[in-house]
């Protein structure tokens, strides 16, 4: 056993590892790595503060929040399996190490063989895995590997108390995950379809044609992708849809002659983790405050138990009826950003307390929404027949389990519910200030930087409100029903872009996600961002949030400026030149908008290289955003909505591809500018979240400091039944192993 050799020669580490048969393998792996694929040792950590909001809860409300939080944390571990084949094992290995002894004791053990920088690199990498629920960034989908040699990492593992307690288990986990942990080949550097990236939504033996065949079969059987994955068995050819559920077994098995295959639906994906999720949801139900909350949880439990997406939709229906709760929560397979096909949902769950003061402003925005919607630049027929007034609240997050924490959410994502029954908006108020803390803004003038520092949080609150409520909450989709009826007046409605009759729509069984697939997320985020920009030009809209006219003007300007800063600076960090692909939907959307504004010309937006190969300068003409800028966004937003309403994926794709292109041709050498931007790249902040502990029918909030060590301790404290968690993750990884070979 290699571990025993390493322990034996720990005093002369380089000698023992150099004799190992693994050495040549890892030299080859590490030779393909890059600084772009490690997390920096100066990784910032910030505290997500929620103490005041939590302390204001009653004992019953705290118990409700506690068990919901436990459900969210356990459910978030599903994301490990959704991210990469090795992520569940890497998490298990690290969690065992930190659960078995204090970080200080571990440091003392390894300090003779590792430098302070190497020890810190190990802690940073571990924090990255926990924060992103895997070894790919939740924001950007690019892989990160440890910033220390493989033999040093291995030394830490075998020096740990975890290895001393369970040598065979720890060694087995390490042997199975170490190659994936350090591998940085081109084909595994980001998430994506097999052979171009890594995904566990499709088994690695899929090709593009087969992905389309599965999509056609799912449409035929009217199966939506939110809560499933797909694998292919080769002998004989079988497409299996794996449903997320506690129950296990084959639901359907049919031969499909046209594709010369068998099509099967199989229950039981993520079963042990979903069982624990349901256990906590049922405990939370005992402390629910309303009948709607109880019914909502019952439906979620049934969905996770049986794999029924319809039951999760029913739970969502009760959720949108539950107006103005003290504790807000949502859980399930929600966002489709990381499925390369754009249809399958990543698990997430959150628990938060209402910020009453900020929520009053959002409530005013909701009340005025029906007067604001007509300001949007599309004809009335392209807007929903009836605006369903949502619950819109500002929340202080207690728990957010998933691959990352957003600033705002508009859910549910189910078309038929959002369009006909309603939705909810939430702004995560205690997240927004953390995002701007200590940000340097290197590519704007000192005067603009002063304005941004003063108004960034307020401007972003306005943009989040407009983006979520009137962005994602606006616009109609044209449908044909099963009986052939259209839900719009085809004879009396023309396409405002062409002046001709409407000629395309969503057929029965089609949804926005199933039609727009991989384009869908970035396209919809772009539409919502444009709505926010456009409506922020109206003083009466911004005045809902601030009353001082000078502040209103400054917030409008800073809102636009933040968008183009993000669209140039942050967005290009998320572009991968090797595969010519975007790694993050919001960033692609903001880059597209920036290109539209640059195309408007007339000096509205300029990007210049002011120090050759060293620095850029982004300038936005404040006076022209109300004229040139408004016209550009108005025209672009109209196209976005018309193509979406009419299911015109062909024109939408053509337009979006044009503005998404990153090249060095012409007057805007984007690839060169990307290199400059990467020199100034700032690491994304890691949030330290609190924990709750229940004892004797009371709940205590456990808070932590803003440090790597405290962040890791929060994850040690997070799972009371850690042995069950570790065993479940090992079993799930073993079940997946034959189907995901990278």
Would you name the residues annotated as active-site residues? 468
The length of the chain is 742
The residues facing 46 across adjacent strands are 687
Query: Tokens 């291995």 appear where?
Result: 154
End-to-end CA distance of the chain: 25
How many helices and strands, by DSSP H and E, does the chain display? 32, 17
Kindly write down the DSSP assignment for every residue of 299-321, as one continuous string.
Answer: HHHHHHHH--HHHHHHHHHHHHH
Residue 132: which of 663, 656, 687 has the closest Cα?
A: 687
What are the structure tokens assigned to 132, written together? 């992103």
Buried b (16+ CB within 10 A) or exposed e, 146-165: bbbbbbbbbbbbbbbbbbee
Residue 284: which of 12, 692, 642, 663 has the closest Cα?
A: 692
Residue 406: which of 350, 332, 325 has the closest Cα?
A: 350
The residues facing 240 across adjacent strands are 231, 264
Distance CA 596, CA 534 (A): 13
Distance CA 503, CA 510 (A): 16
Residue 393: which of 435, 436, 352, 433 has the closest Cα?
A: 352
Under DSSP, is residue 587 helix (H, G, I), strand (E, B) or coil?
A: helix
> How would you classify the pairing of strands 45-47 and 686-688?
parallel
Contact at 8 Å (CB) between 670 and 572?
yes
Tally of CB atoms within 10 A around 581: 21
Contact at 8 Å (CB) between 428 and 408?
yes
């Amino acid at each position: 056993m290699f571990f025993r050799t390493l322990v034996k020669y720990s005093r002369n580490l380089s000698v023992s590892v150099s004799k190992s048969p693994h050495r040549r393998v890892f030299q080859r792996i590490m030779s393909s790595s890059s600084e772009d694929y490690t997390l920096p040792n100066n990784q910032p950590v910030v505290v997500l503060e929620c103490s005041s909001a939590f302390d204001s809860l009653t004992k019953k409300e705290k118990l409700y929040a506690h068990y919901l939080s436990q459900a969210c944390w356990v459910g978030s571990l599903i994301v490990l399996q959704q991210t990469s084949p090795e992520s569940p094992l890497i998490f298990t290995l690290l969690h065992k190490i930190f659960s078995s002894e204090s970080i200080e004791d571990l440091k003392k053990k390894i300090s003779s063989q590792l430098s302070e920088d190497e020890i810190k690199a190990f802690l940073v990498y571990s924090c990255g895995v926990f924060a992103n629920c895997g070894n790919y960034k939740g924001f950007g989908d690019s892989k990160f590997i440890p910033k220390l040699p493989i033999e040093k990492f291995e030394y830490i593992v075998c020096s740990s108390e975890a290895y001393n307690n369970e040598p065979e288990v720890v060694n087995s986990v390490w042997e199975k995950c170490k190659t994936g942990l350090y591998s940085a080949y081109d084909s595994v550097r980001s998430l994506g379809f097999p052979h171009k990236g890594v995904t566990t939504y499709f088994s690695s033996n899929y090709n593009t044609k087969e992905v389309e065949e599965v999509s056609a079969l799912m449409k035929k059987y009217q199966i939506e992708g939110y809560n499933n994955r797909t694998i292919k068995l080769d002998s004989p050819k079988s497409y299996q849809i794996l449903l997320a559920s506690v129950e296990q077994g084959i639901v359907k098995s049919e031969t499909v002659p046209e594709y010369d295959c068998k099509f099967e639906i199989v229950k039981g994906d993520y079963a042990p983790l979903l069982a624990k999720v349901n256990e906590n949801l049922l405990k939370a139900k005992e402390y629910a405050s309303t009948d709607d909350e109880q019914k909502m949880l019952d439906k979620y439990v049934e969905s996770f138990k049986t794999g029924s997406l319809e039951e999760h939709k029913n739970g969502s229906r009760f959720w949108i009826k539950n107006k103005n709760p003290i504790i807000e929560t949502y859980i399930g397979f929600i966002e489709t950003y990381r499925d390369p096909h754009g249809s399958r949902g990543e698990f997430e769950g959150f628990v938060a307390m209402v910020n009453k003061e900020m929520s009053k402003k959002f409530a005013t925005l909701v009340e005025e929404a029906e007067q604001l919607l007509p300001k949007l630049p599309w004809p009335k027929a392209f807007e929903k027949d009836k605006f369903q007034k949502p619950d819109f609240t500002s929340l202080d997050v207690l728990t957010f389990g998933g691959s990352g924490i957003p600033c705002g959410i508009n859910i549910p994502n189910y078309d038929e519910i959002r369009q006909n029954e309603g939705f909810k908006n939430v702004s995560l108020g205690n997240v927004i200030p953390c995002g701007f803390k200590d940000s340097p803004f290197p590519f704007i003038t000192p005067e603009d930087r002063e304005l941004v520092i003063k108004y960034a949080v307020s401007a972003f609150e306005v943009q989040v409100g407009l983006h979520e409520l009137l962005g994602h909450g606006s616009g109609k989709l044209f449908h044909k029903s099963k009986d052939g009826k259209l839900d719009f007046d085809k004879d009396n409605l023309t396409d405002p872009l062409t002046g001709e009759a409407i000629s395309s729509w969503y057929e029965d069984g089609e949804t926005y996600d199933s039609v727009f697939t991989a384009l869908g997320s970035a396209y919809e985020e772009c539409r919502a961002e444009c709505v926010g920009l456009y409506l922020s030009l109206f003083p009466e809209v911004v005045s809902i949030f601030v009353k001082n006219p000078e502040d209103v003007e400054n917030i409008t300007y800073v809102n636009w400026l933040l968008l183009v800063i993000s669209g140039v600076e942050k967005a290009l960090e998320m572009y991968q030149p090797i595969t010519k692909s975007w790694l993050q939907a919001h960033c692609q959307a903001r880059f597209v908008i920036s290109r539209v504004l640059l195309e408007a010309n007339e000096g509205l937006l300029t990007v210049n290289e002011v120090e050759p190969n060293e620095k850029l300068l982004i300038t936005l003409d404040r006076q022209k955003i109300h004229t040139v800028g408004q016209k550009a966004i108005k025209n672009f937003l109209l196209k976005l909505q018309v193509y979406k309403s009419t299911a015109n994926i062909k024109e939408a794709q053509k337009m979006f591809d044009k503005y998404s292109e990153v090249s060095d041709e012409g007057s805007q050498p984007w690839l060169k500018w990307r290199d400059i931007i990467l020199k100034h790249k700032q690491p994304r902040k890691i949030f330290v979240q609190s924990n709750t502990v229940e004892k004797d029918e009371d709940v205590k909030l456990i808070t932590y400091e803003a440090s790597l060590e405290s962040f890791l301790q929060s994850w040690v404290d997070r799972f009371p039944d850690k042995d069950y968690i570790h065993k479940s993750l090992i079993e799930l990884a073993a079940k997946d192993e034959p189907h995901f070979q990278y």
